Structure 1
Amino acid sequence: MTDRRIPEKKGQVLVLCAPSGTGKSTLVKKLREDFPQIGFSISCTTRDPREGEEDGKDYFFLSVDEFNEKLEAGEFAEWAEVHGNFYGTPKKPVEKMLFKGMDILFDIDFQGCMQLMESMPDGIFVFLMPPSYGELRKRLEGRNTDTEHVINRRMMNAMKEMASAPKFEYWIVNDDLDKAYGELKAIYLAGKNRPCSNPGLLESILSTWE
């Protein structure tokens, strides 16, 4: 009987989606700090940078014309218009990371997530929820970055997104940051042991019975 090498794990796609103001960016930051080997999909956007955001690190900040040129050239894996701004995920960096077997984290809007459910059905899709309507509005107002009109629009969009939560495999309620992060971390680690993340494993082990 000859021992054979266990096949390497396949890179997995982890997609985190949430209504604006739910705390998604904070959880993404914590996960990337604990697992720096995870590839991160940096999106392009036409919105203005918020305080502390850097071009090429948080987003690629583009003009509307630049975004449309990339869109027409087919350079996005997914794209959407959200709150009057355009967002899109560059396709080539994603393909390169997956080809290398790297895990990839997507921090994207709801529309883009729906597109990825079609194009990447083996991905792990997580929906992050606020604990209540009142708490979400409080968080949006506390950012001091949006007008009352924009906040009202975000709240209306959040209601629509919450109605589509059943489309996701996992739900996390962000009422306590440490608890929410622990749940996200557990989902990520468990995903690495799914059959689709381990192609060839069963066949390799069964071959030792020969």
Structure 2
Amino acid sequence: MRGFREKAGPALLAIVAASLLALPTASLAKKKNSEPETQPAAQAPAQAAPQAAAPGKAGAPAPSGAVAMIGDTPITDTELTEQAANQLQRLKSQEYDIKRRVLEDLITKKLIEKEAAARGISVDELNKAEIEAKAPAVTDEEKKTVYEANKARFGDKPEADVMKTMIEPSLKQQRINQRRTEFLSELRAKAQVKVLLEPPRITVDVGSAAVKGPKDAPVTIVEFSDYQ
């Protein structure tokens, strides 16, 4: 036995070594065979390009001058203006009144500033010299007349107090306002003021109605009458 072991030792070692070398390869092959094969991802089918919508009536441009469309029927700006004519005319009149009022204030302001600059004084000094100083004084007779005409309104208040604290200041302010109007009229005439702002006008077609006066008159007066 001992002799056999010694003789068989090298051969047995060779067999064992060969088995050990073969194990990793077999294990790797077994593992590789056990894993499912990965298939390449399928490409998604290309989406078809969207088809352009066929042009219809909804995409057609509106007629010139249309402000609304009811199906194929337009509502024109001319029709809208005719229906709103009365309301629009009132707005134009209000606009003119506002502009004219502001224009008069601007004219007054510039006239007074121009006159004050020409005299080399301030606007306040001009107002005192031409308006307050030149306003007519209030007389006792005028105060008495106003008191007697409105005596019932003053009740039991003393006559002297009423004339001094109520009637005299009121009459004085009236005189100042009157003098301011006169002074501004003088300045307007001196500066030759011309108002070029035109008021709104309405063209009235008289048709075959009776007309008196020249057809090219600058002003036409139309009388509306209801005959029964």
Q: Fold conserved (TM > 0.5)?
A: no
TM-score by length of 2: 0.20
**Larger-gyration structure (1/2):** 2
TM normalised by structure 1 equals 0.21
Return the structure number with greater helix share.
2
Q: Which has the higher contact order (CA 8 A, sep 6+)?
A: 1
Higher strand share: 1
